């Protein structure tokens, strides 16, 4: 049984930092492309960042470029999202997702392309 669990969310002030983690079990972690998504109340889910199976390729949404860094440790079955310079508009539930496609193709931001999801971790940025 595949389990995906996010952690690391919380309340932070405008300009602050957080690091999210996502651990996955029940799958061959290194064979999966991984991504972070987020969904704010009343808004559609959006892709934040994607990382290839080796970690050599990363893609970011415009909203995340220059502030967020995605990384993975296949030995620990763990995905990370380092978030700096957080803004109130970053407030959302953040989700980790996995799909058996090694690379961040043009479809990386389409949620329906992912097989496995975590339950989410809440990030709240106060102004």
60-110 pLDDT, tens per residue? 999 999 999 999 999 999 999 999 999 999 999 999 999 999 899 888 999
Q: What is the pLDDT of residue 74?
A: 95
Torsion, Cα 8 11 14 20, to 10 degrees, reads 10
- pLDDT tens-digit readout, 47-63: 999 999 999 999 999 99
Least-confidence region, from 4-13, 36-45, 51-60, 98-107: 98-107
Residues contacting 70, CB < 8 A, separation 6+: 34, 36, 49, 50, 51, 58, 60, 79, 80, 81, 82
Q: What is the pLDDT of residue 21?
A: 98
Q: What is the pLDDT of residue 79?
A: 98
Q: What is the pLDDT of residue 69?
A: 98
Q: What is the pLDDT of residue 6?
A: 98
Average pLDDT, the chain: 96
Strands 121-126 and 10-13: parallel
Q: What is the pLDDT of residue 106?
A: 84
Q: What is the pLDDT of residue 40?
A: 97
CB 33 within 8 A of CB 104: yes
């Amino acid at each position: 049984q595949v389990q995906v669990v996010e952690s690391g969310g919380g309340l932070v002030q405008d300009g602050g930092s957080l690091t999210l983690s996502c651990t996955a079990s029940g799958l061959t972690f290194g064979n999966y492309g991984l991504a972070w998504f987020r969904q704010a109340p009343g808004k559609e889910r959006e892709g934040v960042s994607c990382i290839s199976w080796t970690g050599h390729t990363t893609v970011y949404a415009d909203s995340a470029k220059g502030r967020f860094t995605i990384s993975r440790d296949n030995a620990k079955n763990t995905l990370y999202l380092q978030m700096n310079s957080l803004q109130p508009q970053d407030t959302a539930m953040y989700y980790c997702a996995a799909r058996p496609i090694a690379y961040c193709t043009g479809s990386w931001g389409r949620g329906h392309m992912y097989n496995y999801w975590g339950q989410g971790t809440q990030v709240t940025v106060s102004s």
